[in-house]
Each structure stands twice: as C-alpha cells, then as structure tokens.
Amino acid sequence: MTSIYDFTLPDAQNRPVSFEQYRGKVLLIVNTATRCGLTPQYQELQDLYAQFHAQGLEILDFPCNQFREQAPESSEEIAQICQTRFGTEFTVFQKTKVNGPDESPLYTWLKQQKPEDKGGHAFKEMLLKLASLGEKREGSDIKWNFTKFLVNRNGEVVERFAPSVKPAEIADDLALLLS
C-alpha cells in the first residue's frame, strides 16, 4: 500500500470501509481498549469529533486486545459500549492487531510513516516497562492503547502521539489542519 486511501478494512459490523471515502478529510486514527486506564479518552475523542467533524475530521477507532487483553469484547460489543458509555459517533472498526506478524497492514503502513511517538515521555517509559512484562516492544511498535496518528487532508501522516497525550491536547493541531 502506498497511500492511506488504498486501504479497505471492516468496521465493527464487518462491513468493508474503503478509505477512499476519507480523501480530503483530516483523520485521527487511534488504537483503543475498553478496559484500560486510558479508556476515558473516548470521551475526549468524542468531544473532538463533535467540535471538528463538520470541518472535515474523521476519527477511526481500532480496538486492540494486544495490551494486557484490555479489549476482550467482540468488535460489535465494543462499538455498543462506546456509544452507550461515551456517546461516540465515529467509526469503530474490527478489533485489530497493531504489532507483530499478524498486525494490520494499515498499522504497518502508519508505523513506517511515523515510527516514533510525540509527547508523554515519562509515561512512555512506564508503559514500556509494563509492556516488557509480556511481549517485548521494539522500534516503531505501538507501545500501548490510545496511540494516535494524525493524517492531513492529503493523506500524509503528520504526527504520532503517545498514549498519554490526551485528545484535547491535539485540538490546536486539528484546528490548524482543518483551517
């Protein structure tokens, strides 16, 4: 894949979603979990979506169970939990692997574009220690739930934010890309 628009992936209801429909939009792509200490970020993601969707923001939610099995529900259950608990209106995709031999080609591509997290350095070190208790993470691997990739209207990955960077902290970045 050479462009974000080349991907087609199944949503939580297993319907194919062509990323071509996002051409010209600003994307925030997030790997999430329903039982993580960072799960309250769902509310901030929804707040960003409500604030910026009309200007062209799309949030793409990829539940992931690779980090201490903090997303054990089915994809459909995760979508329902997010809608009920946090009022989310953005697209939830099928559960996805973000690291390892079975990782989603989307995440392989995203990590090639932006191999390092921005922000959250002290928290990142703590997460790396937690992650090392199980599977070892190396190089550009996603370190934890709620890593965020920001994609501009031209389909270019312009930033990768650490899990501890709250969605509200990137509102200025979004506003700039959407203006």
User: CA-to-CA distance for 53 and 33, rounded, in angstroms?
Assistant: 22
Is-catalytic flag, 36? yes
Catalytic residue among 4, 27, 36, 79: 36
φ, ψ for residue 7 (rounded to 5)?
-85, 145
Find the Cα–Cα–Cα–Cα dihedral 13, 14, 18, 19, rounded to 10°.
70
Q: Are 95 and 81 a contacting pair, CB within 8 Å? A: no
Contact 71, 61 (CB under 8 A): no
Task: List residues with catalytic annotation.
Answer: 36
